[in-house]
Amino acid sequence: MSITKKQNQLRELIILIVITIASIILWETPVIYPIKIMVILFHEISHGIAAILTGGKVIELNIALDLSGICKIEDGNSFIIASSGYLGSLLFGMLLFYSSLNKKLSHIVLLIISGIIIIFLINSSKNEYLILITTMVLILLIVIIYKSPTFFSSILLKALGIISCIYVLIDIKQDIFDSTNSYSDASMLAELTGIHQAIWGLIWLGLSAIGILYLLIKSHKNKFN
């Protein structure tokens, strides 16, 4: 591998680390607001997908202005549905990250994810504000990915992927360790299994941390098109 390629990979890794740290620091600021809507949608839609795949249906999907999300579900496998929120955010993030390996692949993945989001919102949400802002963000993202240079679009997709994974960490921390009264996915898992919600929280924290570390390592080691 030439020195230039090594330098490009090191530069990309440094940029991703900076973005990761900055997103954590700025998480509660308006700067991250549009991105937070997307990653919270990943979380709630993952519940919906799990419900549909296990014989249930989505009654309502909504995200309020304060970014509190809800996905009302009827029937389906409760354990799989409860587990799918954290897992879905993680998998959506990893999918976005890996789509950056190839620009054509990134176009396909982005269109599929956008289609899934729009279909869920149109069929399950009555929040016109949420539908409007999400559609605008998706259109802007698609235009940027399609029109920008490969290096920039690759960084953007990787950043979105990592931020989606980071959301799992922050969501678990807020649900379990910052508030003892909130009813979270981990609380539901605790009720279903008899295992304390803190244990479930630690499990998902560990998996998410491993996922983020793995993505950063792959970003440094792989050659991207």
Residues 63/69, Cβ–Cβ less than 8 Å: yes
Return the CA Rg of the chain.
18
What's the pTM? 0.81
Per-residue pLDDT tens over the stretch 26-42: 877 887 888 888 888 88
Of 38, 203, 219, 16, the C-alpha closest to 46 is 38
Q: Would you list the DSSP string of 35-60? A: HHHHHHHHHHHHHHHHHHHTT-EEEE
For 64, the 3-state DSSP assignment is coil
DSSP 119: H
CA-to-CA separations, 4 to 17, 53, 102, 186, in angstroms, rounded: 20, 46, 20, 46
Residues of the chain where predicted confidence (pLDDT) is lower than 70 = 1-6, 175, 177-183, 216, 218-225
Instruction: Identify the pLDDT of residue 141.
Output: 85
Residues 158/111, Cβ–Cβ less than 8 Å: no
Per-residue pLDDT tens over the stretch 207-219: 878 877 777 676 6
For 66, the 3-state DSSP assignment is coil
Instruction: Identify the pLDDT of residue 223.
Output: 47
Domain boundaries, the chain: 3-221
Instruction: Identify the pLDDT of residue 222.
Output: 58
Give the span between the Cα atoms of 225 and 80, in whole angstroms. Answer: 36
